[in-house]
Amino acid sequence: GQQVMQIPQYQHVQEGEDFTTYCNSSTTLSNIQWYKQRPGGHPVFLIQLVKSGEVKKQKRLTFQFGEAKKNSSLHITATQTTDVGTYFCAASTDSWGKLQFGAGTQVVVTP
């Protein structure tokens, strides 16, 4: 079955640095979504990517969908303490598919 692999599982970042988290699948994806979960909170939807090669930006966050629609990345520039949390990708393989979540990347930011 479809598996969504997310790397790294843990990321320790100095405030002001950039970092990237990746989401990979062995099968072609119909779409991919990204969520953020603050410590003790619930997942919150950030963005959805549908098209091959699609790039979307939200302030300091840049989301990319691979050309082959098998991978995605989230890049954060100039990390701030408000970026702390776990970032999940979630994907489906067709337009009627259930979402499968990756295991998440836990981000810790030190001042």
Partner 1 sequence: DAGITQSPRHKVTETGTPVTLRCHQTENHRYMYWYRQDPGHGLRLIHYSYGVKDTDKGEVSDGYSVSRSKTEDFLLTLESATSSQTSVYFCAISEYFSPQPQHFGDGTRLSIL
Q: Footprint of partner 1 on this chain (CB under 8 A)?
A: 6, 9, 30-31, 33, 41-45, 48, 50, 88, 90, 92, 95-104
Nearest approach in angstroms of CB 37 to partner 1 is 9
Closer Cβ to partner 1, 76 or 90, answer by number: 90
Nearest approach in angstroms of CB 74 to partner 1 is 15
Nearest approach in angstroms of CB 51 to partner 1 is 12
What tokens were used for 69? 């629609």
Closer Cβ to partner 1, 96 or 111, answer by number: 96
How distant is the alpha carbon of residue 41 from its chain centre?
A: 17
Closer Cβ to partner 1, 3 or 14, answer by number: 3
User: How far from 80 is each of 14, 16, 28, CA to CA, in Å?
Assistant: 9, 6, 33
Contact yes or no for 98/33 (Cβ under 8 A): no
Report the alpha-carbon distance of residue 23 to residue 74 in Å, rounded: 9
